C-alpha cells in the first residue's frame, strides 16, 4: 500500500442479465480500491439509458441503485480517481451522450496521451466539451465520425487514440469493450452460468457476480456483446503486450488474477526475490498494510525471519491520496496507520513496502516504528526505484518530486530515517513476475507509447 501512487479508475459492464443493474453495482463496488473520487452506474432498459453518478464512494454516489435502477438487461459501472481532468461532478462517469447513432454511456480507465491534440482539433471543428477529462474525447470522435454505422465509427475513433486505456460503452445495440494496443490497462471478460457476459478491470469483479474468467480482452481489440453473442474485431494491430507491472505490484486486489495467476502469489514471489537480493539481519519482518503484506510474507519465508503484523490500518479512513495537500495527506497517514509496540519494541525490523515515490509516507511510517520502540529499521522495497512519471493512467508525482530520481540509495535511507534501504532490481522484478513484456516505463525502461508535448490552447 503506497500512499503515493494513485490508481485512475475501474470499469465494469454486463449484458444479458435480468439483474444487470444490481450486479453492476456490486461488481463496481468490488473495484472501489481503484478510485474513490466519484462513481456511477448506467443502466439500459427498453432501449433507454439512465445514469446515476456522483462524488465520493459508490455507496454515497449511487445510494439508491437497487430501488431506482433495478430494472434493466445491461449496465455499466465506473469508479474514478482523476489523472486527467478536475475532480468535479461534471467529470464523474459513466458519461451519458446523445449522438446521431443514439444514446451512449461511456466509462474509461486510463489516460490518452494524445488527448490534448485531439481536443484542440475537435474544438477547432466546433465541438463543445462539457468537462475536462480526456474520456470525453472518444465520445466527440464518435459524434463527428462520417462512418455510416456506430461500430465502424467506434473502430475509427479507437484507432485515433494513443496511451493506456480500457473503455466500456453501453448502447441499446450492445455492450462494447476496448483495450489499448499495448494492453497497458487491464480489461477482462467473464461469463455467468446463465450466459451473461461481463467486462471488468479485474477478475475480483467477475468473482463478485459469479462470472468465471473467460479471457483477457486482447491488446488492440474491440468486442461487441449483444443478444446475438460476442463479436471481436481489431481496431489496431498490437505491437506486443506491455501490461502495467504496477497492477501486480500494488493496484489490483490480491484476490484478482492476471492471465489466471494469483496476484497474491505474485506478490509473495516479489518478496522472496527481494530477500535473496537484499538480505538483512533482523528479528521481525513487517509489511505496510495492505498490498505489501504478501511481499512481506514472501520475504519472511525466504529469509527465515519471523513475519508479524507490526502496523495496523484504520479501515474507516478514506485513502490518504484523496487529500488535497501534503499536510492533509500526512495527517491522513497518521490517522490511518499505527504501530504495534508489542511486535516491534526492542526489535530489528525489516519494513517491506511495495514502492517508494516521494518518500514522505515512508519517513512517517519509520518514525511510527521508532516511536514504538524499534531498535533498527531496515527498509526493503518490493519494486525497483521509481524514476519516471507514468503517462498511462497512474497519477504520480512530477519528475522533480521522484525521490529515487534525485537521490542515491544512501541519501534516500537518510531521508526516510532507515538504517538501511534496498530496492528490488528490474531483473528481479521481471523474474518474479514470471513473464516478459511488462510496461516498466516508470522504472526507466522506456515508454512504449510516445508522450506528446502539450498543445497550446
Using CA atoms, how far residue 218 sits from 22, 47, 188, 221, in Å, is 27, 29, 9, 5
Binding region for Mg(2+): 291, 353-354
Q: Boundaries of CATH 3.40.50.2020 in the chain?
A: 265-437
CB burial readout 267-295, b (16+ within 10 A) else e: bbbbbbbbbeebbbebbbbbbbbebbbbb
Residue 241 exposure: Cα atoms within 13 Å on the Cβ side: 17
- The hierarchical CATH code for the domain 9-241 is 3.60.20.10
Q: Report the pLDDT value the prediction gives residue 453, as an integer from 0 to 100.
A: 53
- Cell numbers that stand for 24 in this block: 453492476
Q: What is the DSSP string of 353-383?
A: ES--SSSHHHHHHHHHHHHTT-SEEEEEESS
Q: Report the pLDDT value the prediction gives residue 124, as an integer from 0 to 100.
A: 81
Using CA atoms, how far residue 433 sits from 353, 386, 426, in Å, is 17, 17, 11
Cis peptide bond upstream of 94, omega within 30: yes
**What fold characterizes domain 265-437?**
Rossmann fold (3.40.50)
Tens place of pLDDT per residue across the chain (457 aa): 444 554 569 999 999 999 999 999 999 999 999 988 899 999 999 899 999 999 999 998 987 655 555 678 999 999 987 544 455 577 789 999 888 899 999 999 999 999 889 988 888 887 777 776 788 899 889 888 889 899 999 999 999 999 999 999 999 999 999 999 999 999 999 999 999 999 999 999 999 999 999 999 999 999 999 999 999 999 998 878 999 999 999 989 999 998 888 999 999 999 999 999 999 999 999 999 988 999 999 999 999 999 999 999 887 665 444 444 555 555 666 678 999 999 999 999 999 999 998 898 999 999 999 999 999 999 999 999 999 988 887 766 577 788 899 899 999 999 999 999 999 999 999 999 987 689 999 998 899 998 865 433 3
Q: What is the DSSP string of 93-162?
A: SSEEEEETTEEEEEEEEEEETTHHHHHHHHHHTT---SSSSTTHHHHHHHHT---SSHHHHHHHHHHT--
Binding region for [4Fe-4S] cluster: 244, 390, 439, 442
Q: What is the DSSP string of 389-452?
A: ---SS-B---GGG-HHHHS-HHHHHHHHT-SEEEE--HHHHHHHHTSS--B-GGGTS--SSPPP
Burial of 446 (0-12, 13-18, 19+ CB in 10 A): exposed
Positions marked active-site: 9
Cis peptide bond upstream of 290, omega within 30: yes
Q: Report the pLDDT value the prediction gives residue 264, as an integer from 0 to 100.
A: 96
Q: Boundaries of CATH 3.60.20.10 in the chain?
A: 9-241
- Whole-structure pTM value: 0.90
Q: Report the pLDDT value the prediction gives residue 456, as an integer from 0 to 100.
A: 36
- Cell numbers that stand for 170 in this block: 453501453
**How many other C-beta atoms can be found within 10 angstroms of the C-beta atom of residue 454?**
8
- Cell numbers that stand for 362 in this block: 515512508
Q: Report the pLDDT value the prediction gives residue 36, as an integer from 0 to 100.
A: 86
Q: Percent helix, strand, coil in the chain (nearest 5)?
A: 30, 25, 40
CA distance 349 to 370: 10
Q: Report the pLDDT value the prediction gives residue 51, as an integer from 0 to 100.
A: 93
Q: Report the pLDDT value the prediction gives residue 68, as an integer from 0 to 100.
A: 56
**How many other C-beta atoms can be found within 10 angstroms of the C-beta atom of residue 165?**
29
- Which residues on neighbouring strands pair with residue 224, listed in sequence order? 176, 231
Q: Report the pLDDT value the prediction gives residue 226, as an integer from 0 to 100.
A: 97
> Alpha-carbon torsion 276, 280, 284, 290, what sign?
negative
Burial of 254 (0-12, 13-18, 19+ CB in 10 A): middle
Are 319 and 36 in contact, with CB atoms under 8 Å apart?
A: yes
- Which residues on neighbouring strands pair with residue 111, listed in sequence order? 164
Are 125 and 140 in contact, with CB atoms under 8 Å apart?
A: no
Amino acid at each position: 500500500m503506497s500512499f503515493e501512487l494513485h490508481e485512475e479508475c475501474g470499469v465494469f459492464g454486463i449484458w444479458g442479465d435480468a439483474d444487470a443493474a444490481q450486479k453492476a453495482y456490486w461488481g463496481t463496488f468490488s473495484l472501489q480500491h481503484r478510485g474513490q473520487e466519484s462513481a456511477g452506474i448506467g443502466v439500459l432498459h427498453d432501449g433507454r439509458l439512465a445514469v446515476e453518478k456522483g462524488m465520493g464512494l459508490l455507496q454515497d454516489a449511487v445510494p439508491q441503485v437497487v430501488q431506482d435502477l433495478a430494472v434493466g438487461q445491461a449496465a455499466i459501472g465506473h469508479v474514478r480517481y482523476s489523472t486527467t481532468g478536475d475532480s468535479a461532478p461534471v467529470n464523474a462517469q459513466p458519461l451519458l451522450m446523445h449522438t446521431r447513432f443514439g444514446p451512449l454511456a461511456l466509462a474509461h480507465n486510463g489516460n490518452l496521451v494524445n488527448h490534448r491534440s485531439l481536443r484542440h482539433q475537435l474544438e477547432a471543428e466546433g465541438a463543445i466539451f462539457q468537462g475536462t477529462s480526456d474520456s470525453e474525447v472518444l465520445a466527440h470522435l464518435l459524434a463527428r465520425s462520417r462512418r455510416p454505422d456506430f461500430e465502424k465509427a467506434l473502430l475509427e475513433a479507437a484507432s485515433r487514440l494513443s496511451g493506456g486505456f480500457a473503455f466500456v460503452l453501453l448502447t441499446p445495440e450492445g455492450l462494447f469493450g476496448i483495450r489499448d494496443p499495448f494492453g497497458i490497462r487491464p480489461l477482462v471478460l467473464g461469463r455467468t452460468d446463465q450466459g451473461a457476459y461481463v467486462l471488468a478491470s479485474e477478475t475480483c469483479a467477475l468473482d463478485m457476480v459469479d462470472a468465471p474468467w473467460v479471457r483477457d480482452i486482447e491488446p488492440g481489440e474491440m468486442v461487441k456483446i449483444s443478444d446475438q453473442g460476442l463479436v471481436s474485431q481489431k481496431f489496431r494491430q498490437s505491437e506486443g503486450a506491455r501490461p502495467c507491472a504496477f497492477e501486480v505490484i500494488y493496484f489490483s486486489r490480491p484476490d484478482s488474477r492476471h492471465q489466471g495467476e494469483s496476484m497474491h502469489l505474485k506478490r509473495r514471489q516479489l518478496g522472496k526475490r527481494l530477500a535473496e537480493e537484499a538480505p538483512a539481519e533482523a528479528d521481525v519482518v513487517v509489511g505496510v498494510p495492505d498490498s505489501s503484506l504478501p511481499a512481506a510474507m514472501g520475504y519472511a519465508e525466504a529469509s527465515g525471519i519471523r513475519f508479524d503484523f507490526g502496523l495496523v490500518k484504520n479501515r474507516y479512513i478514506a485513502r490518504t491520496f484523496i487529500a488535497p495537500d501534503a499536510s492533509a495527506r500526512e495527517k491522513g497517514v497518521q490517522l490511518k496507520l499505527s504501530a504495534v509496540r508489542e511486535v516491534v519494541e526492542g526489535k530489528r525490523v525489516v519494513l517491506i513496502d511495495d514502492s517508494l515515490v516521494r518518500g514522505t509516507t515512508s519517513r512517517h511510517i519509520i518514525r511510527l516504528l521508532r516511536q514504538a520502540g524499534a531498535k533498527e529499521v531496515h527498509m526493503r522495497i518490493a519494486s525497483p526505484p521509481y524514476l519516471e512519471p507514468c503517462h498511462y493512467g497512474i497519477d504520480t508525482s512530477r519528475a522533480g518530486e521522484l525521490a529515487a530520481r534525485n537521490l542515491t540509495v544512501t541519501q534516500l535511507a537518510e531521508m526516510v530515517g532507515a538504517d538501511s534501504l534496498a530496492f528490488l532490481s528490474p531483473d528481479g522484478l521481471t523474474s518474479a513476475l514470471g513473464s516478459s513484456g511488462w510496461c516498466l516505463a516508470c522504472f526507466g525502461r522506456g515508454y512504449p507509447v510516445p508522450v506528446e508535448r502539450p498543445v497550446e490552447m
